[in-house]
């Protein structure tokens, strides 16, 4: 058993042009004031972090960790979701995903892929310099447009998509291995790795790579109507990161899982601030403690109703309340008695 570390906060949804969210020192002071113990830093956000400098300069990394320590904070992990997303893009999404890439590679899918791959490698190097062992990401997607197709998918389509996905990720996984970093794929709708079956398909194709791991976020399973507690039991040995994010699913006669192309606030499935949704976090924290999860519990705020600063303040307290300080004793130890082999035989009627 293991006591979870936390609370940490993922900064991706908080970074902004306005203070205190426009620089790492300012956002660190804000987060520490709310009771967070760690920051999960998006490696793509140059307002907060220079991934290339972190990959090459120990002084820069030491400056960051020292500044955070002055606020009582550490880095829980780096995240590389934008880089991972751009490593594998179906052409249907080229125009939308180009906005995530620098201007010089837009309109050139090959150059964009190479930019993403390079930044993933830099983030792995930066993680090592920062003393981190886990890094979050998205898998990207070739097959998502064919999730629920008509006409039916041609034979070999999905297999080819996953073969190519594995081909692109294997060198990155090998580079992460060289840096001593686990690459944790967030299991997420719109990614090719969006449930247990797809993770297994990918994991097999990368040869069961030791650095291929999972970022667990139960909110995405609520929206898929997937049993996230069973998922924890099945994939406990692969889960290295945990986003604490809430969600709800309220189907009607008009819409269900697919959401009817409605806005977030009008969907049957929608993200909520911690405690406002339907996720059974008591059971999740219990299972993670039981399974010996050694990582951080990191707030990811996404809510269609509540403002982010309220969500962060309430979220820090919520995570603290749910972390279980695991016991080193068995509750009925007081009733135990020393029994030798002869007495045990006698109790069982064994001559």
What is the per-residue pLDDT for 344?
82
Task: Write the pLDDT tens digit of every residue in 262-302.
Answer: 999 999 999 999 999 999 999 999 999 999 999 999 999 99
Given a cut of 80, is residue 331 above it in pLDDT? no
Among 269, 277, 272, 271, which residue's Cα sits nearest to residue 251?
269
Domain count, the chain: 1
CA distance 185 to 172: 12
25-44 tens-digit pLDDT = 999 999 999 999 999 999 99
Task: Give the pLDDT mean for 58-66.
Answer: 98
Q: Are 192 and 161 spatial neighbours (Cβ–Cβ below 8 Å)?
A: yes
- How much is the average pLDDT of 1-6? 92
Confidence bin at 19 (pLDDT 50/70/90)? confident
pLDDT over 90 for what percent of the chain? 90
For residue 281, give every residue at least 6 positions away whose Cβ sits within 8 Å of its Cβ, in sequence order, or none: 218, 244, 246, 274, 318, 322
CB atoms within 10 A of CB 324: 15
Q: What's the pLDDT at 332?
A: 59
pTM for the model: 0.93
Give the pLDDT confidence of 147-196 residue by residue, as tens digits: 998 899 999 999 999 999 999 999 999 999 999 999 999 999 999 999 99
Is residue 40 within a helix (H) or strand (E), and if so which, with residue range? strand 38-42
Which tokens in the block code for residue 223?
């929206």
Residue whose entry in the numeric block shows the structure tokens 């090459």: 56
CATH number, domain with residue 316: 3.20.20.150
Contact, 122 vs 66, CB < 8 A?
no
Q: What pLDDT was estimated at residue 257?
A: 93
Q: Find the domain containing 93 and state its range.
A: 5-348
pLDDT for 335 equals: 57
Q: Quick one: average pLDDT of 251-255?
A: 96
């Amino acid at each position: 058993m293991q006591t979870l570390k936390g609370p940490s906060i993922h900064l991706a949804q908080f970074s902004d042009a306005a203070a205190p969210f426009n620089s790492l020192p300012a956002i660190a002071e804000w987060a520490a004031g709310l009771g967070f113990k760690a920051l999960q830093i998006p490696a793509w956000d140059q307002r907060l972090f220079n991934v290339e400098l972190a990959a090459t300069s120990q002084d820069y990394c030491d400056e960051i960790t020292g500044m955070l320590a002055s606020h009582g904070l550490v880095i829980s992990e780096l995240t590389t979701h934008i880089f991972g997303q751009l490593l594998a893009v179906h052409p249907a999404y080229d125009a939308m995903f180009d906005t995530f890439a620098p201007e010089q590679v837009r309109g050139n899918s090959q150059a964009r892929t190479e930019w993403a791959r390079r930044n993933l490698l830099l983030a792995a190097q930066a993680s090592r310099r920062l003393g981190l062992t886990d890094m979050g990401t998205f898998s990207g997607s070739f097959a998502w447009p064919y999730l629920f197709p008509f006409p039916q998918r041609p034979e070999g389509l999905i297999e080819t998509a996953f073969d190519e996905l594995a081909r692109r990720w294997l060198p990155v996984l090998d580079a992460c291995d060289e840096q001593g970093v686990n690459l944790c794929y967030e299991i997420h709708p719109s990614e090719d790795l969006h449930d247990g079956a797809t993770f297994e398909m990918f994991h097999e194709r990368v040869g069961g790579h030791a650095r291929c791991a999972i970022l667990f976020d139960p909110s995405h399973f609520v929206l898929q109507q997937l049993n996230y507690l069973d998922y924890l039991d099945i994939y406990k040995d692969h889960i290295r990161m945990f986003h604490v994010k809430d969600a709800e699913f309220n189907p009607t006669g008009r819409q269900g899982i697919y959401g009817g192309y409605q806005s977030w606030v009008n969907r049957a499935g929608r993200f909520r601030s911690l405690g406002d949704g339907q996720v059974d976090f008591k059971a999740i924290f219990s299972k993670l403690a039981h399974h010996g999860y050694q990582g951080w519990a990191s707030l990811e705020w996404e809510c269609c109703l509540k403002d982010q600063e309220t969500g962060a303040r309430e979220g820090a307290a919520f995570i603290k309340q749910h972390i279980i300080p695991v016991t080193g004793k068995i509750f009925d130890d007081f009733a135990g008695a020393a029994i030798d082999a002869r007495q045990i035989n006698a109790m069982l009627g064994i001559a």
